[in-house]
Structure 1
């Protein structure tokens, strides 16, 4: 990866956020980086643990394959909303001491019962400041014009912050 590119760091339990991360990666010609959190990954018990840890605001970040993200021009953090908060692996990353670039965006996926505004507020508090761009996509909006508009607007904001224009 050449220095100065864009990275999409994503966590996905059910596949919605991974799908979005792949679309963003294709649209921005970005590197995909999977945030590893095996304790939440599969089965009913892992699902219940994820919800419980989200409510308890347990935000531990397991060891990852990277120790810095600062070599990228921009980083987009992509993942789900759990119980009105960003998924605990995302919160662990946001609270970590892993170096980040100046341009950091947050794109969340959510079910209709978990609106994103509280999650954005929590993420900003965890991160210690505002994001360059934020967006959320309801799982019900996958494959719709609304999804396309959300992605286009988000990507344009990120690219503008990087001094690049979106083509096509």
Structure 2
């Protein structure tokens, strides 16, 4: 993706409560599907639901994931189930599998006013219209919106159904 294509990205501030990665991804998944954008309280619910599914995905994919997690696998998964445990690259990878969609991580690089892509996950689910998140380099994630969204009044699908649809449609 060229810098020109990145210019229309707009950062959506996400609450920093230990769930920001999961909140950002959930918000981005709603954007990608054209669903109602979640309020702060709905983001929290969706983030906690996504976190639980990510922990389950680690267990499901243990043979493929255990080697790149820090420390004891069971302890790591148990810690990730806690609502304020910070997520990182392993969780982004599992989010892409849970949602069955690509996730792109952007970051502002020193000397640039345009966020650069620093990581991509879930490319096997396509490369078009990924969920975009912005990493600040210090542990916080915000959502990125690629273009002005349609008005909420035009969205007929409710955000609470997004995990249901993520597993039943491809």
Q: Same fold (TM over 0.5)?
A: no
TM-score by length of 2: 0.32
Which of the pair has the greater relative contact order for Cα pairs under 8 Å at 6+ separation? 2
Which structure shows the bigger proportion of residues in helix conformation? 2
